[in-house]
Chain A
């Protein structure tokens, strides 16, 4: 079997019995085959998440390393210069500080509970836990805030004053009047548009998003796609709905809502006949699990904040 057809066989989502057998016998032909198979599986699966993997500028890092390596030798001289510079800077800072007029800019933070706030322009923002937004203009000519964490924006329409949300690395979102959800927590950057138009400005380009569009930053690139998700806003609506959902979807949605890790036994992933229909409103994770145990005979073990699902049937 040549590599391309082997890979196509591995990738095929609905393999027939013969195809399974063909793959199995190829795998068992030699140790090399088996190793190659395992390497391919690793690359084809969804197991290796790049979402939280960042790209740091290595060339810049190296230049800095070279500079600091050389300057280690002349450090004392630099220290004196630095001290002098600080004194001068401090002098100017205090001199100017007394002249600047103070503008009151609000900072809204949600710690343990979701906060709903109304901005000066009547826009409504739901701020998820451990998240915060900060006004960076007074909203007189432009409306600009910065976001850390996750928030859902319902922006009141104002063509004269675009609304901007500033994100990491000088990326920002620009809208006139729409609803959208943003995650910008330092590890993940993701936008989901629920109504209207949104423009994402990155250092290189401007990307237009319309209703139903999602975009996430993966491996340094922005990838735009569409994939409806009933429970995306469960953190805001405090409600999780499952319609004909498989166990993977159920666990993904729950883990996002309740913030825990999970793994599912490989054997359960192969035949996902169990479809779950249910709805949970304002419930604790324990009671959700106890209901799942009843409806699909879910069996699991729990270790700290992570759950392992090892059996279910319906």
Chain B
């Protein structure tokens, strides 16, 4: 991702934008639609629309990050209204309506944080990755991790510290994409 997202109205910048936001937006759409292929369809449409409207959006000075999430939400709801039962649509609609604006931006930040952690965890060495996941996702203690992986508790703690340090470095490096 060497291309600058700031240049997103050009082809290369748009590609960088796509690569930074495709996965988090698909996850966001999935949280509404509960179906992977529908989520991908919706996000594809969102990017197509933004590409078509790029010059108009620049003139209007929209804030890109929240615009991407808002479009994904609206399009997902539209999708549900057309393809799902009325009851299901109303259920989701009420749930989303209850979230006020503040909650919505919290939800965006939560997804982007997950994206960044998930993305950096993938880049960790295997052992580090395993320890980080067992600790934060499966809730094992360091003693339990030690027994499980046949290493000392001390080593487990050290590896975990290395994992956290690396994750923060990677996140810092990529953070400009998600401002």
Which residues does chain B contribute within 8 Å of A81, judged by CB atoms?
Answer: none
Q: In the complex, what residues of A have CB within 8 A of residue B51's CB?
A: 69
Contact in complex: A8, B161 (CB < 8 Å): yes
Determine if B22 is an interface residue (Cβ-Cβ < 8 Å): yes
The reply to whether the CB of A51 lies closer than 8 angstroms to some CB of chain B is yes
Question: Can you list 27 A-B pairs, Cβ within 8 angstroms, ordered by A?
Answer: A4-B161, A7-B160, A8-B157, A11-B142, A11-B157, A11-B161, A12-B157, A44-B160, A46-B137, A46-B139, A48-B117, A48-B136, A50-B114, A50-B137, A51-B137, A53-B118, A54-B27, A56-B36, A58-B23, A61-B18, A61-B26, A65-B44, A65-B48, A216-B137, A219-B122, A220-B122, A223-B134
Among B160-179, those with CB < 8 Å from A are 160-162, 164-165, 167-168
A45 to B118, CA, bound (A): 14
Contact of A56 with B139 in the complex, beta carbons under 8 Å: no
**Majority DSSP secondary structure for residues of B touching A:** helix
A111 to chain B, nearest CB (A): 14
Contact residues in B for A48 (Cβ distance below 8 Å): 113-114, 117, 136
Q: Which residues of B contact A218 (CB under 8 A)?
A: 133, 137-138
Q: How far is the CA of A42 from the CA of B114 in the complex (A)?
A: 11
- Using Cβ atoms and an 8 Å threshold, which residues of chain A touch B141? 13
Pairwise interchain contact A69-B48, C-beta atoms closer than 8 A: yes
CB–CB A226/B148 < 8 A: yes
Q: Which residues of A contact B79 (CB under 8 A)?
A: none
Residues on the B chain within 8 Å of A159, using CB: none
> B residues touching A (Cβ–Cβ < 8 Å)?
15, 18-19, 22-23, 26-27, 30-31, 34-36, 39-40, 43-44, 47-48, 51, 113-115, 117-118, 121-122, 129-130, 133-142, 144, 148, 157-158, 160-162, 164-165, 167-168
In the assembled complex, how far is the CB of residue A122 from the closest CB belonging to chain B, in whole angstroms?
34
Min C-beta distance of A246 to chain B, whole Å: 12
Other-chain contact of A223, B23, B34, B133, B167 (Cβ < 8 Å): B133
Of residues 180 to 229 in A, which have CB atoms within 8 Å of B's CB atoms?
186, 216, 218-221, 223, 225-227
Q: For the complex, is A282 an interface residue (Cβ under 8 Å from B)? A: no
Q: How far is the CB of B89 from chain A (nearest CB, A)?
A: 18
Kindly identify, within residues 1 to 35 of chain A, every residue whose CB is under 8 Å from any CB belonging to chain B. Answer: 3-4, 7-8, 11-13
Assess whether A68 is in contact with B48, with CB atoms less than 8 Å apart.
Answer: yes
Q: From residue B111, how far is it (CB to closest CB) to chain A in Å? A: 8
B34 surroundings in chain A (CB, below 8 A) = 186
Q: Measured between alpha carbons, how far is A223 from B127 in the docked complex, in Å?
A: 11
List, in ascending order, chain A residues with CB within 8 A of B139's CB: 46
CA distance A12 to B153 in the complex (A): 11
Check if B40 sits within 8 Å of A56, measured CB to CB. yes
